[in-house]
Amino acid sequence: MSFETISVIGLGYIGLPTAAVFASRKKKVIGVDVNQHAVDTINQGKIHIVEPQLDIVVRAAVSEGYLRATAIPEAADAYIIAVPTPFKDDHVPDLKYIESASKAIAPTLKRGSLVILESTSPVGATEQMAEWLAEARPDLTFPQQKGESSDIRIAHCPERVLPGHVIRELVQNDRVIGGMTPACSQAAVDLYKTFVEGECITTNARTAEMCKLTENASRDVSIAFANELSLICDDQGINVWELISLANRHPRVNILQPGPGVGGHCIAVDPWFIVSANPKLSRLIRTAREVNDSKPDWVVQKTEQAIAQTQRLLDGRRKPRVAVAGLAFKPDIDDLRESPAMKIAEILSQRTDIDLQFVEPNIEQLPGNLKNGTFSKDIIASSNWCDLILILVDHSLFATSLSKIPKDIVHIDTRGLLK
C-alpha cells in the first residue's frame, strides 16, 4: 500500500521528529498542531524543542517542500496522532487530546485512509479513538463495524525512543504495530517501512498498547529499587554508588542508578495507566510509582537540613545561597515534563529565607512557576557564588565541569556525579 501524503497530529517531542523523518524520505508531510508558535517556527525551517540533529532534518524538509505545518488538519492518505496523554488528579488517564485530534481529522478522512495512534495510551484507547471517528463519519465504515473490509484502517504503534537520540532511534528501533485487524496492521507496516530499518512486529491493538506501558513500568520498578536502596544506604552511612558498582559485578545483577525521582512523559505516567485499569492486581507497579514519586520530597528534606546547617554557620550575616543544578527530567535535553528536578525547584522557590539560582544550560528562561530565584547556564559561576549546590541532573556539561567546582561548598549529589 502506498502513502504519498502523511499528516502528523501533534508536533512535539515525538510528532515533529516523526514528521521530519517521513519528509526526509520524500513524502509529503502535513504537520498539525494547536500551538501557532510551533507551526510558524517549523514553517521557517526551525524547531521549537531541543533534540540533536532534528534542526538539520527539519530545515532540509521544509526548504525542499516536503514538510509543512498548519493548525487545521487537511486531507491525507495516512494520519499519525502523537498528542499528549496525561492523567487526571486521581491518576485516571485523560484522553481529551486524543478525542480532540480524532474529531479534528474526521472530516478529512476518505475511503482507504489509515489512522495510527502513536500516543502512549491505556488499553482500549485505540478502540475508543475508532468509536469517536465512526461517530463523526457515519458515511464510512471502521474495523469495529466491518472488520477487514472496512473503509478506514486503524492501528496503534507506540513510540519507544530515547530523548537526545530520537532521530537515530526512530529509524533503527524495532516497532510494535497493533492493528484492529490484520489488514490494519499490514497497512501500518507498509507506512512505517518508509523509514524504519528495525523490524516491524505485528500484534493486536490492545497488546501493542500494553506493550508500551509494560516497557515503562518495568523501567519504573527497576528505578524504584535503586531509589529505595539510596534511602537505605543514606540511613546506614553507606555510599550507594559504590554499593551498586560492587553489586553489579555479579554476572546476573544489573542495578540501575538512583536519582531525585522519575520524570518525563512516559515512565512517570504510563504505569498509572496499568494501575488505574487493574488497581487490585498491580500492587508492585503501584508501589514502585509511590517510591519514585516520593523521592523528590526526600531530596527536599536533605536540602532543608543542609540549608539549616548553613544558616547556623552564617549566623544571620546573609541568606544562604543555594544553586539548583538541572531542571530537565534527564540529561542534555530541555524537556521539563514531570521532572522531579522541577518539583524540587518549585518547593525550594517558595522559600524567602534563601537566595536561589537555577542552573539549566538547555533552556533560555526559567518557567514562570519559579518566581524566587535567578537563572544561569553556567554551573561553574553558580558554584563559585553559592554555599550549597544541589545536583539534580547529570548533564554532560555538568560532568565535564566537576573539577572546577570548589571543593569546600556543601553539595547534595542526587546523580552520583561526585560519587
Q: Which cell numbers hold the place of 298? A: 526526600
54 closest CA partner among 334, 398, 411, 366: 334
Q: Which cell numbers hold the place of 351? A: 522559600
Residue 241 and residue 376 in one domain? yes
Q: How far apart are the first and last CA of the chain?
A: 54
The active-site residue, picked from 157, 184, 200, 266, is 266
335 closest CA partner among 393, 261, 377, 401: 393
Pairing of strands 153-156, 175-179: antiparallel
Residue 88 and residue 226 in one domain? no
- pLDDT at position 203 is 98
CB atoms within 10 A of CB 87: 16
Residue 193 and residue 223 in one domain? no
Q: Is 212 a catalytic residue?
A: yes
Q: Within the chain, how many helices (H) and strands (E) appear?
A: 15, 13
The active-site residue, picked from 157, 200, 212, 386, is 212
CA–CA separation, 10 and 19 (whole Å): 10
Domain boundary among 133, 167, 198: 198
Q: In the block, which residue shows the cell 464510512?
A: 140
- Residues 69/33, Cβ–Cβ less than 8 Å: yes
81 closest CA partner among 39, 121, 131, 123: 121
Q: Taking the mean position of all CA atoms in its chain, how far away is CA 407?
A: 34
Q: In the block, which residue shows the cell 545536583?
A: 391
Residue 366 and residue 399 in one domain? yes
Give me the DSSP letters along 363-385: -SS--TT--SSEEES-HHHHHHH
- pLDDT at position 288 is 98
Residue 21 and residue 146 in one domain? yes
76 closest CA partner among 63, 84, 67: 67
Which helix (H) or strand (E) segment is 304 a member of? helix 283-314
Pairing of strands 200-204, 67-70: unpaired
- Residues 374/386, Cβ–Cβ less than 8 Å: no
Residue 312 and residue 387 in one domain? yes
Residue 279 has, within 13 A of its CA and on its CB side, a CA count of 4
CA atoms 160, 163, 164, 166: torsion sign: positive
Residues paired with 7 in a beta bridge: 30, 79
- pLDDT at position 66 is 98
- Residues 82/15, Cβ–Cβ less than 8 Å: yes
Q: Is 26 a catalytic residue?
A: no
Is 29 part of any domain? yes
Q: Which cell numbers hold the place of 401? A: 565541569
Residue 287 and residue 407 in one domain? yes
Residue range(s) defining the domain that contains residue 273 = 218-413
- pLDDT at position 419 is 72
From its phi and psi, is residue 316 left (phi > 0), alpha (psi between -120 and 50) or beta?
left
Report phi then psi at 417, rounded to 5.
-65, -35
Split into its structural domains, the chain has a count of 2
Spans of the chain, pLDDT less than 50: none
- pLDDT at position 50 is 85
Residue 170 and residue 229 in one domain? no
Instruction: State the Cα angle at 20 between 51 and 42, rounded to 5°.
Output: 75
pLDDT tens-digit readout, 143-191: 999 999 999 999 999 998 988 899 999 999 999 999 999 999 999 999 9
Instruction: State the Cα angle at 48 between 46 and 51, rounded to 5°.
Output: 90
Residue 404 and residue 339 in one domain? yes
Report the CATH number that the domain containing residue 389 is assigned in CATH: 3.40.50.720
Residue 316 and residue 193 in one domain? no
Domain boundary among 142, 168, 198: 198
